[in-house]
Every structure is written in structure tokens, then in C-alpha cells.
Amino acid sequence: MSGVLIIAEQRRGELRPATLELVSAAQGARRAPGDTVAVALIAESPERLVPAVSVPGVDEIVTVQVAAREFDADTLETAVRALIEARKPSLVLVPHSIDAFGYAAALAARNRYGFATDVFRFEYADGALVATRGGYGQKVNIEVDFPGKDVVLLAVRGNVYKPPEGTAAPSVTSFTAPDVSSRVRSLEFIEPAAADDVDMTAAEFILAIGRGIGEEGNVQQFRELADAVGATLGCSRPIADAGWLPKSRQIGQSGKTATACKLYVAMGISGAIQHLAGMKHVSTIVAVNADANASIFGIARYGIVADIFELGDALKEQFQS
């Protein structure tokens, strides 16, 4: 049992960027100098993805040709299990992604691998793997280990590790996985609804509201505030789910990424990890929250503990005089 096996993620013929983050994450998990980092490409045409994972830090690429063109949980579970049995890695990494939500727990449960998800740090301490994840809405950190487990499967949080730069020429081998009769069929992809009037990815100054606004009638106050300070109004998931703002204004994992944003003022947003995925890179984040323990204060540059309505009113006055 040695080496790290990364399961690459692909969608519609393209490598998902989270895969490369795993390559960086794996570097610290080589237990011995001889330990290798291999990337498995499980796809209908895996060889097409080889260039995308030919990066420094990858020792070997393993192509696994499968019948399923798009995500299929049974196909992935069967292929990864066969790879693990043949190659005996001590550590298997997948991204903590929507696709992994669909098969990683099944793979771990059936084969009793050591298992943890949403891991943002891991290392060997005295020969034993220790992984760190969040708890109680990210307010605490939890270190877990995997006593007696020869194989450990970790789903690694996105946007934690920087993908490697440059190219390399790892060896490429192929592997044949058992056939699978799938029980779930891919029909089609549907692009997210077009933006109403706004492109959140282009906004440089976003004022985002979250659950703390309480009710729909309060949206208007923050719409006016955003106008007064010159910000684009964005929101966290609960606001879009409730239909209080269009989905196109949602920032986060399943919404938009605040790509061009330089200033992000989060009001009444506690800081769920899915929201942070869309904005935590912003250089100046100001968090306003009534809860002094809100996890968003952990990533913000400036924090204000206040009632968001009172603070909002007072801020608006600053821009009206």
C-alpha cells in the first residue's frame, strides 16, 4: 500500500480544474521519497485528457476507457475500486465536488476504506494520516484519522490548493475496468438561466445579502443601499432559492464566481463554504453580521458586528450627504 491515486474529474470532454488542485494537494502526502502520484482519467476518450494532466507533480497517468460519456456513479465506483485493488494506493483523492457527492461515499461504504469529505488539510503524522475538516458550520476544525485502514479516500475542498504551473511528461499507462450496466442515464445538460440584467462575474464592487435580511420585503432596502454606494447587488443561496433575487445574482459554488470583484461587502451572510467558494479570493472583503462568531469573519479583511439594517441605514446616509 503506497502512493497517491488522484481520480480526475471530467465533464463534457473537459478536465475539471479541481483535478489539478489535487495534484498540488498530493505532494505533501508522499510518505516516502519513492511514493508516486498517479492520476486516473476515467472517461469515454481518456487519452484526450492526457495533455491537461501532464503537469509537474504527476508521475504517472492511467487512462481508463469506459462506455459512459458523462458522469455515471456506478461506472466511477466500479473503475476506482478496480484501480485500487490493482494498484494498492494508500491514499485516493477526489475533489469535494458535486460529482464526488454522487459516488465517493458509496465507494467508501462498500469497501470500508478510510473516508472523510470536505478535507482542507491532510498530512502524515508518525506514519498515520490525519485529515482536517470543518464542523458546526465551519466554526470549529476537526482532525480525523483512520486507524486500521490500508486505503483512505479523501474528498478535498476546492480553492484551497493552487494548481501546479507548467507542463511535464509523466508516463502514460492504460487500465481496463470491468463493464458496468448503468442504472442512471445521462439525458442532457441545461445551461443556467440567463442573467436578468447583470453579470456578477464582471462586477468590481458587490454588496451581497444573505439570510440575515430576514424577509423578502427587506430586499428593497439593500437594493437602494447598493445603488447609493455604487455596488452591484448579489446574494447567497437562500435568497435566490426563496426567489427574492434572481439566481443570476447568486454568488457561490452553484451560482456565480465574483471573478472581477475587488470589494465585497457581505451583509447577513454567515459564510457557508459553498458561498465562500464564489468570493473568498476577493482582495477586500467586509463582513457585516450580528453574530460575532459567524465564520465569514474568518476570511474577511474587515469585520463589523452590527445589526445589518441599522448599519445599512447609517452607511446609506454617508453616501447621501
Within 134-193, which residues bind another protein (CB under 8 A)?
Answer: 134-137, 139-147, 149, 183-192
- Other beta carbons less than 10 A from residue 283's beta carbon: 9
Report DSSP state, residue 12.
Answer: T
Nearer to another protein, 167 or 318 (CB): 318
Nearer to another protein, 167 or 181 (CB): 181
CB of 171 to another protein, least distance (A): 31
| Cell 458522469 -> residue | 71
Q: Which of residues 76-135 bind another protein (CB under 8 A)?
A: 77, 96-99, 101-110, 112-118, 130-131, 134-135
User: Which of 97, 89, 91, 93 lies closest to 73 in space, CA to CA?
Assistant: 97
Nearer to another protein, 148 or 166 (CB): 148
- Position among 50, 160, 260, 286 found at the interface with another protein (CB under 8 A): 286
What is the enclosing helix (H) or strand (E) of 17? none
Residues 219, 231, 269: CA angle, nearest 5 degrees: 50
Q: Does 311 bind another protein (CB under 8 A)?
A: yes
- Phi/psi-derived region of residue 219, left when phi > 0, alpha when psi is between -120 and 50, beta in every other case: alpha
CB of 96 to another protein, least distance (A): 8
Task: Tell me which amino acid residue 9 is.
Answer: E
How many residues bind another protein, per CB under 8 A? 100
**What does the DSSP assignment read for 228-294?**
HHTPEEEE-HHHHHTTSS-GGGBBSTTSB--TT-SEEEEES----HHHHTTTTT-SEEEEEES-TT-
Binding track, positions 234-253, relative to another protein; x by CB under 8 A: ---xx-xxx----x--x--x
- Position among 71, 122, 161, 222 found at the interface with another protein (CB under 8 A): 71
For residues 57 and 170, give the distance between their C-alpha atoms in angstroms, rounded to a whole number.
9
Q: Which of residues 23-62 bind another protein (CB under 8 A)?
A: none
CB of 223 to another protein, least distance (A): 16
Segment near another protein (CB under 8 A); pick from 38-46, 84-92, 212-220, 262-270: 262-270
